[in-house]
Structure formats: structure tokens, C-alpha cells
Amino acid sequence: MSTPALELPRRELPFHEGARGFSVILKRNVSISPAGLACVFAALGVVAFAIGTGFALAGAWLILPFAGLEVLLLGAAFLLQARHATDYERIALAGRRLTVEVADGKQVARYEFDAARARVDVRAGRVLLHDAGNALAVGRHLDEEARRAFAAELKRRLV
């Protein structure tokens, strides 16, 4: 008797068609929203302080500062995760302009390429957009298989 193979669901790339082009938004696959993570953080903080307070009342008062340190480090991890939970790449073709908008934390950068001269290359697992000396890596939120499919679709649409 053989065990069934584990099949992962395919991640579709939602290219939105426009009158003279397309747009696609590539986002991180975030398993929990920042609000949900804040609730988990609050619950963990309450539990840590309750345990620390219990030990402090039993005479082991030195546990309480370590519980505070634990909650502080959990808060730092929460802020780091929440800062990058909404990162994205928006790639849009409108007429002859290919526009790439990259949001990384609070920074948003915008790049423009001439669609007629833009080339798509895949090197070392990275998708690179080239145009007259400019190069930009895109697809950083995709896994390897989706990155290859995205590069092939982008090449097809830029021809």
C-alpha cells in the first residue's frame, strides 16, 4: 500500500487585464493578520505576567523582571513581523510604460521601464527586469516554481 503524495495548492498569479496592458500584485503569504497577531501577543503577555506575578507572590520576585523582558522581546518580534506583513510588488503595463512599485516596510519605491526594450531574465532563482542599463529583481514573495511561471508569463506579455 502506497501513501498518497502531498500536493501543495498552486498559487495563481492574478494578472488583471486592462485596455492597453495589465497589472499584477505580488504579496507575501502572511498566515495571520497584524490584528490577529496583536491578539496572540496580548494573550501571551498576560500569561507571562500572570505566571511571573504568581512566582513573585510565592517569593521568587526575580522572575517578574524576566517576564517583562520576555514580553518586551515578543513585542519587538511583533513589530518586526507587522512592519513587513504588507510588503508587495505591483507590476503594471500601461501603453509603453512598465511600472514596478515595491513596498518594503514603510518605504515605497517606483521604477519605470520602456516596455518595448524591457527584457525578463531568470538567473540564480531571481527574476530580473532589464532596460537600458537598469536592472531590478522582482518576484521576491514567490516560491521558486511560481517565480518561473511568473517570469514566463511576464515575457509572453511584454513581447
Express each pLDDT in 129-157 by its tens digit: 888 878 888 988 888 888 888 888 888 88
- Inter-residue contact 113 to 129 (CB < 8 Å): yes
Q: Do 139 and 75 sit in the same domain of this protein?
A: no
Q: Which pLDDT belongs to residue 77?
A: 87
| Higher-confidence position of 111 and 23 | 111
Q: Decide if pLDDT at 4 tops 60.
A: no
Q: Do 45 and 76 sit in the same domain of this protein?
A: yes
Q: Do 110 and 149 sit in the same domain of this protein?
A: yes
Decide if 136 is inside a domain: yes
Q: What is the pLDDT of residues 78-104, one digit of tens each?
A: 888 888 888 889 988 888 888 899 998
Q: What is the pLDDT of residues 41-83, one digit of tens each?
A: 899 989 999 999 999 999 999 999 999 999 999 889 888 888 8
Q: Decide if pLDDT at 6 tops 60.
A: no
Helix 63-84 to helix 34-57 angle (10° resolution) is 180
Q: Do 80 and 91 sit in the same domain of this protein?
A: no
Q: Do 41 and 94 sit in the same domain of this protein?
A: no
Whole-prediction pTM value? 0.68
Instruction: Give the domain range for residue 41.
Output: 34-84
Here the CATH number for the domain that contains residue 133 is 2.30.29.30
- Inter-residue contact 108 to 91 (CB < 8 Å): no
Decide if 40 is inside a domain: yes
Q: Which pLDDT belongs to residue 124?
A: 82
**Maximum Cα–Cα distance across the chain:** 74
Which helix (H) or strand (E) segment is 66 a member of? helix 63-84
- Inter-residue contact 135 to 122 (CB < 8 Å): no
Q: Do 73 and 126 sit in the same domain of this protein?
A: no
C-alpha cell at 127: 527574476
Q: What is the pLDDT of residues 10-33, one digit of tens each?
A: 455 666 665 567 888 888 877 887
Domains contained in the chain, number: 2
Q: Do 80 and 90 sit in the same domain of this protein?
A: no
Decide if 147 is inside a domain: yes
Percent of the chain with pLDDT over 70: 87
